[in-house]
Structure 1
Amino acid sequence: MTGDVTGGMAEGKNGEGQDNAAASAHLGILMLCHTALHRAEDVARFWAAAGCPVVIHVDKSVPDRSFNAFRQALRHLPGVRFSRRYRCEWGMWSLVAAMQSAAEEMLEAFPDVGHVYAISGSCLPLRPAAELIAMLATQTGTDYIESVTTADTPWTVGGLSDERFSLYFPFSWQRTRWLFDSFVTLQRRWKVARKMPAPLTPHLGSQWWCLTRKTLSAILNDPQRAEYDAYFRRVWIPDESYFQTLARKHATRIESRSLTLSKFDYLGKPHVFYDDHLQLLRRSDCFMARKIWPRADRLYAYFLSDQPGSAVRADPQPGKINRHFTRATEQRQMGRPGLYMQSRLPREHWERGKTAAPYSVFTGFDEVFEGFPGWLAQATGLRVHGHLFAPEKAHFAGDAPVYNGGLSQSAALRDYNQQQFLASLIWATRGERQCFQYAARDNHTAPLNWFMASDQNAHISVITGAWALPLFRGTQPAADIRSHAAWLQKREAAHLEILRSNWARARVRIWTMAEFLEAPYDALDSVLVEFASQIQTRPLTPPKLRPLAGFGAFVEELRDAGLPPFLLGDYPVSHDPSPAPTSTYFLK
């Protein structure tokens, strides 16, 4: 049985002068199967029970034994036919040939069919067949086929768009990838530009359509069909463009949408529906869904059962569940803020957010104020840590040996990956703002500094040069003090360079020690503004400044020893600033 013969017979049985108002209420199903034939059998029985004729194409790659058993299981159903078998391959013409063959069989064998619905063997009806038949009976002249132009809609994902129509594709993308890519490159070099036969305009869309008998018959019996077939035979993925393009030539009224719910991830791979998607599929109000896991017993049992139809049922609304797939795609591609996964970790800047929540970093404050971490914790009620990156260990709040998320205070474990140590801490304590101290003497590295500086969740407050106060109060020999001061100043200068770079995204406040000590409580107030909602009481008892008597002379000694402490700012050496602390002060 050839396409020309069956097409002619179908046209003869459905001429334009024939009254097809009643026939249009009948629905025929084209089913393309290549695996999980037992599930295809269940779906075929569902449609046959509803009085819908079914024409099944089984991929020729399916073993004859399995095919014969499948056909034998359905032999007693009068409305089920099998079409000529083709060995189908993704992206090749054979898929279109299989659909043409099945469509010709449908139009010839069942002259009462008004709409033909193409589905795959992994499709599952989501609503009673009577509801779909009733809807199509009121839309006798409407074709449901997704059909969009390549210029106006970014329909393709990660593949060729316009070039699929202008180049030749004789090689399989799956089996002979090297030949496929090489031939595309060669054609680009030769500036190959095929022309689509007039008067067609290329369109793309899902291969799962529902066409009227009139439109499908016109496509199969088009006088230029041989020319069109020859052209599309070398188009890439023609099953997504052949019927979609020709429908624009022959259809009277097109609704550019598929009645089949199919979702794709950011790589263009179809989402697979499992048993736990039952309620999601029910809410979609769609007539069909693809792609169903063959072992989703709960889905098949529920949707293929005798579901009660409703008098008023919403039109298919796949948009109602789009947000779930959008969120799933975002989490698959970008993850959740602050949560890293093995497959994404090696790829820098693929994280959606470096950390999961805002946190605060204080440099120099515990050197300037006595007991600053404890005071801040008491004033704000926040979890305030000591120096998390101290050389000896991580000083968690309360000096806990193990903290949330199983984080150890061990310096060796922490320094194995400092960035992930911090990200894990913020993730494990999300919902509770973390604060910690950070100093030039700590075991910080450039990667960690860049990590925090480029993190939008980081709030970093720095008093530069405060590292000199512990040296001033120490008892080291003068030569050791100068050497240590030079090392600390160099480390802090490198850190400041990162914080001031164009790549920094953290909220950064920097004071030199001289600037800060001019009005320390005003500066502290500007830091506490971000904690205003957590402040326990007002007025606050201010933290006590550490003694500074003689520090100016110490700074002058460093200068005289050949080390200008430029990070302290314009610190007076003749006298030490002594801001008068008030007994209380109010947060602005």
Structure 2
Amino acid sequence: MAIVAYLLLCHRDPETIVALAGRLTAAGDLVAVHLDRRAPDADFAAIRAGLAGNASVVFARRVRCGWGDWSLVQATLNAARAALAAFPQATHLYLLSGDCLPIKSAVRLRADLDDSGSDHIESVDFFRSGWIRTGLKDERLIYRHLFNERRQRRLFYASMAVQKALGLRRAPPADLQVMIGSQWWCLRRSTVEAILTFLARRSDVVRFFRTSWIPDETFFQTLVRHLVPTTEIRSRAPTFLMFTDYGMPVTFYNDHYDLLVAQEGYFARKISVEAVQLRARLAAVYASADRGPAASGGGPEIHRFLTGRGRIGQRFGGRAWERGAGLGQGRQLMLVTCKKWHVARRLVERVRQATGLASADFAFDDETVDLPDLGGIERSRAKRSRHRRAFLRLVYESLGTDRLILCLDPADLEIMADFQADGATVRILEIVCPFSQADLLGHARRVGLLSDASPPGVAARVLPALAQDLERETARLRAAGFPALFRLTPGQKLSEAALVLAQFLAIPYDTARGIADTATLFDD
């Protein structure tokens, strides 16, 4: 009988991870957990505590994960090595995310694995299959990607442009046919061991994929096809997932139970953390001694039909900005407003380090701000601003949080008022920064009022008017009557600043004091 060791790639939600690992091991399976190194240490401690004493769980060496880069493959390899070392009885390794839940019973999965004698991994030709619908294709492989497109967008595309201009194309290792497919798979133990043995003697393959883009969709897919006979590969992902028209994974809720259990996969991704009823029903499915009914499938076709109706004016479901005008009941939004953006960013970074609080930076002011993939609405400042509450609601959902900190320019009084009118809990922190003549001159140049070639007389007329504008922005903010407006100034005592931050962030005073005690906070 097949014995499955699940490799859980997790990023957040300790309670969800503990619950999932507990359900899997209660059914007799094994689990290797990899938690993103970017997650707070407190989350990792909570997971370890929640699974303490469970001999069927092992923890993999953590790495900092970034969407689209090698770190996701490295995290998977670390989890696989941990599972192989800890569980000699495991016959199969099944890669899952923390957002997955079973849609078939463990009995059904094990019987199918025994019957198939195959590896379950989607693996189709990279260049001829048409698997990639939009975005970069050949460029994923033929250029070296040293920067992350999400976090270092300008450097990512600049590096690729330089390589293209200089003709620095490269070819994949000559003996490999590059394949592509879903990141999620279930492989036999012998296959994973063969991959690790192959990598030990083929450093060139590691080097190639380490600098490719989105290697989690090509690395295992290519090596399995290279090492395993075609007759022993079922080229279909064992985990069911769907994508929206905007390229976002569909999230499933309580009313999707019948759709999910009818699909051909053994697990489904992504299940909403709020779908408590769905989670309970799927847990019962996995623990059932019954193999369950035959799968009917049709999920992607039904989804394409319903979403396709939007193109002819007969949409089945509302768009993000039509599903509700609010950020979401019970959510907290903390607005940091400061004319010196670098000061606001410095404070928010200290808050993030100390509390793990998620941030959307200057999303409504900075065109190039780094944001999660939200299906396209995040790609320009105009799109974010057009339906700003809906945009932020998507940010909350994507980051899996109910607490978010956002930076705004003091000129964004209308945006502050809009969020203040929402049903969420909104607090505002004004960081007061003095502006010297040099500061005013630099600001005038940044906003295009002056240039290095401007005559001195122009600056003499512009700078006083600019200083008055800044004073009026501050006066309008304080006259707006916001009920939860806090103020941080360079001259405040440490104890006063700590109290302001504790109230604004709703965090313990000692934590706030550590944040306030940042000597360089107001530096230019």
- Class of the TM-score when normalised by the shorter of the 2 chains: 0.5 to 0.7
Unaligned runs of 5+ in 1: 1-21, 345-588
Do the aligned partners of 2:105 and 2:291 also contact (CA within 8 Å) in 1?
A: no
With over 3 angstroms needed to count, the CA separation of the structure-2 counterparts of 1:134 and 1:221, relative to structure 1, is same
Q: Does 1:219 find its partner at 2:211?
A: no
Query: C-alpha distance in 2, partners of 1:137/1:79?
Result: 21
Report the Cα distance in structure 2 between the residues aligned to 1:292 and 1:338, rounded to whole angstroms.
21
| Aligned counterpart for 1:325 among listed residues 303, 320, 326 | 303
2:271 & 2:316 partners in 1: Cα distance? 33
> What is the CA–CA distance in structure 1 between the aligned matches of 2:209 and 2:16, rounded to whole Å?
32
Q: Is the CA contact 2:250–2:270 (under 8 Å) kept in the aligned structure 1?
A: yes
Q: Distance in 1 between matches of 2:321 and 2:50?
A: 44
Contact persistence 1:157–1:268 (CA under 8 A): no
Q: Which amino acid counterpart does residue 59 of structure 1 have in structure 2?
A: D
- Aligned residue for 1:293? 272
* 1:347-382 deviation line (CA, Å, top 9, x unaligned): xxxxxxxxxxxxxxxxxxxxxxxxxxxxxxxxxxxx
1:310 alignment partner in structure 2: 290
Q: What are the superposed Cα offsets for residues 398-418 of structure 1, whole Å, 9 maximum, x if unpaired?
A: xxxxxxxxxxxxxxxxxxxxx
Letter in 2 for 1:280: L
Distance 1:270 1:48, change over 3 A: same
User: Given the superposition, is the C-alpha separation of residues 308 and 112 from structure 1 closer, same or farther in structure 2, using an over 3 Å criterion?
Assistant: closer
Mapped contact 2:308–2:315 kept (Cα < 8 A): no
Distance 1:160 1:303, change over 3 A: same
Shift of 1:130: 1.7
181, 188, 202: which one pairs with 2:178?
202
Superposed displacement of residue 333, structure 1: 5.1
* Residue number in structure 2 paired with 1:421: none
State the partner residue of 1:107: 84
| Counterpart pick for 1:184 among 146, 160, 166 | 160
Please give the alpha-carbon distance, in whole angstroms, between the structure 1 residues aligned to 2:55 and 2:219: 31
Deviation of the 1:134 alpha carbon: 1.4
Is residue 119 of structure 1 aligned with residue 119 of structure 2? no
Q: CA deviation at 1:196?
A: 1.0
Pair 1:178–1:55, CA change in 2 (3 A):
same
The one-letter code sitting in structure 1 at the alignment partner of 2:299 is: I
Q: Matched residues in 1 for 2:319 and 2:69: separation?
A: 36
Amino acid at match of 1:207: Q
Structure 1 SS opposite 2:34: strand
* Residue identity in the other structure for 2:78: S
Which segments of structure 1 move beyond 4 Å, counting only runs of 4 or more? 337-344
Contact persistence 2:106–2:288 (CA under 8 A): no
Offset of 1:261 from its aligned partner? 0.4
CA contact (8 A) 1:28 1:54 kept: yes
How many equivalent residue pairs? 318
CA contact (8 A) 1:115 1:211 kept: yes
- CA, structure 1 residues 147+285, in 2 after alignment: closer, same or farther (shift >3 Å)? closer
In the alignment, which residue of structure 2 is the partner of 1:132? 109
Q: What letter corresponds to residue 133 of structure 2 in structure 1? A: V
Give the CA deviation at 1:48.
0.2
Secondary structure, counterpart of 1:301 in structure 2 = helix
**1:343 deviation in Å?**
7.8
Paired letter, 1:62: A
Residues 257-291 of structure 1: CA distance to partner in whole angstroms, max 9, x if unpaired? 01100111233211111112112112224310001
After TM superposition, the structure 1 = structure 2 runs for residues 385-424 of structure 1, keeping only pairs within 5 Å, are none
Q: Which residue of 2 aligns with 1:90?
A: 67
The whole-number CA distance in structure 2 between the counterparts of 1:294 and 1:339 is: 21
C-alpha spacing 1:266/1:189, structure 2 compared with 1 (3 Å): farther
For 1:187-212, what per-residue CA distance to the aligned partner results, in whole angstroms no more than 9, with x for missing partners? 22222221211311111111110011
Q: Residue 314 of structure 2 corresponds to which residue in structure 1?
A: 336
Q: TM-score, normalised by structure 2?
A: 0.58
- Aligned twin of 2:5: 28
Cα distance 1:342–1:146, how it changes in 2: closer, same or farther (>3 A)?
closer
Percent identical: 37
Render the CA deviation track for 1:10-61: whole Å, top value 9, x for unaligned.
Answer: xxxxxxxxxxxx6xx2111000000122112111111101111100000011
1:339 Cα deviation from its structure 2 partner: 12
User: For residues 74 and 200 of structure 1, what CA distance do their matches in structure 2 show?
Assistant: 41
Query: Separation in 2 of the partners of 1:238 and 1:340?
Result: 34
The alignment status of 1:265 with 2:244, answered yes or no, reads: yes
Q: Distance in 1 between matches of 2:94 and 2:106?
A: 12
Matched ranges for 1:72-83 at <5 A = 72-83=49-60
Superposed, which structure 2 residues align to 1:273-284 within 5 Å? 273-284=252-263
Which residue of structure 2 aligns with residue 57 of structure 1?
34
Amino acid of the residue matched to residue 277 of structure 2?
R
Question: What's the CA shift for 1:312?
Answer: 6.3
Distance 1:128 1:317 in 2: 16
Q: Distance in 2 between matches of 1:26 and 1:165?
A: 36
Higher mean C-alpha displacement, 120-129 vs 275-284: 275-284
SS at match of 1:154: coil
Give the aligned residue type for 1:275.
N
Q: Which moved more, 1:94-103 or 1:272-281?
A: 272-281
8 Å contact kept, 2:107–2:291: no
What is the Cα-based RMSD across aligned positions, in Å? 2.3
Q: TM-score, normalised by structure 1?
A: 0.52
> Relative CO higher for 1 or 2, CA cutoff 8 Å, sep ≥ 6?
2
Q: 3-state DSSP class of the match of 1:329? A: helix
SS state at 1:324 partner: helix
1:97 maps to a residue whose letter is: Q
CA distance in 2, matches of 1:333, 1:148: 30
